[in-house]
Amino acid sequence: MALSKKKKLILTFMRNFIFQNEESPTYEEIKTGLGFNSVGTVSWYVRELVKSGHLQRQKGFSGKRALAVVDDLPNQLPLLGRIAAGYPLEAIENREMVEVPPSWVHPSNFVLQVRGNSMIDDNIEDGDYVIIRQAEQADTRQMIIAYVNGEATLKRYYPTPSGIELHPRNPEFDIIYVSPEDEFRIGGVVLHVFRNYY
């Protein structure tokens, strides 16, 4: 769908503002710069541009200078939280953005930061980042994000006739046995691992 003239003006204004100031404008600055009557009008246009994928909130919903023009973004995926590679730990959503190799950018992909060393034999260390593809199914031995009774963990997936086994890759950690009575679902499959050295 073609953008209206005012939506195009907002995107152009934002690109110029970010280029000149190295930060995105506030709603008040957009209102003043483009002569809108109210901040509420700006807010409506911004919501519509976010819905259509032309703008993205980088620092959460309420961030004052959280908007970026999607065409101008580096290759990024959302960091949705931290996950235990030891024992189950809730993955907390925080909606930061993490730069990733361009080949891994896809709407179904996201990033989690690993806590713990239970996957160290797969070269996944505490503090590493994993790129996940959202999925509800996985093949045997694939590394997955598993939700067990409401908690999330990173393990290798082994379905068995009697239940599901979630295997660590560190002999110091125990296999997690999931019985048919447990609440279990797959949240995604691990595609790639990377770490930052700063």
Q: What is the mean pLDDT of each run of 10 residues along the chain (198 residues)?
A: 80 83 88 92 91 75 68 72 68 66 80 92 93 95 93 94 95 95 94 77
Q: Which residues are catalytic?
A: 118, 155
The one-character DSSP state at 92 is P
pLDDT at 198: 42
Regarding whether 178 and 82 lie in a shared domain, the answer is yes
Q: Angle 10-8-16 (CA atoms, 0-180°, nearest 5)? A: 50
Regarding whether 83 and 60 lie in a shared domain, the answer is no
| Number of structural domains the chain divides into | 2
Regarding whether 122 and 138 lie in a shared domain, the answer is yes
The separation between the first and the last C-alpha atoms of the chain, rounded to the nearest angstrom, is: 42
* CATH label of the domain that carries residue 123: 2.10.109.10
Regarding whether 85 and 41 lie in a shared domain, the answer is no
pLDDT at 102: 72
Regarding whether 150 and 82 lie in a shared domain, the answer is yes
Reading the block at residue 95, the tokens are 């909606």
Regarding whether 64 and 23 lie in a shared domain, the answer is yes
Distance CA 55, CA 58 (A): 9
Q: Which structural domain, as residue segments, surrounds residue 36?
A: 5-72
pLDDT at 95: 60
The answer for residues whose C-beta is within 8 angstroms of residue 176's C-beta and 6 or more apart is 87, 88, 148, 153, 155, 165, 166
pLDDT at 64: 65
Q: How many C-beta neighbours within 10 Å does residue 157 have?
A: 21
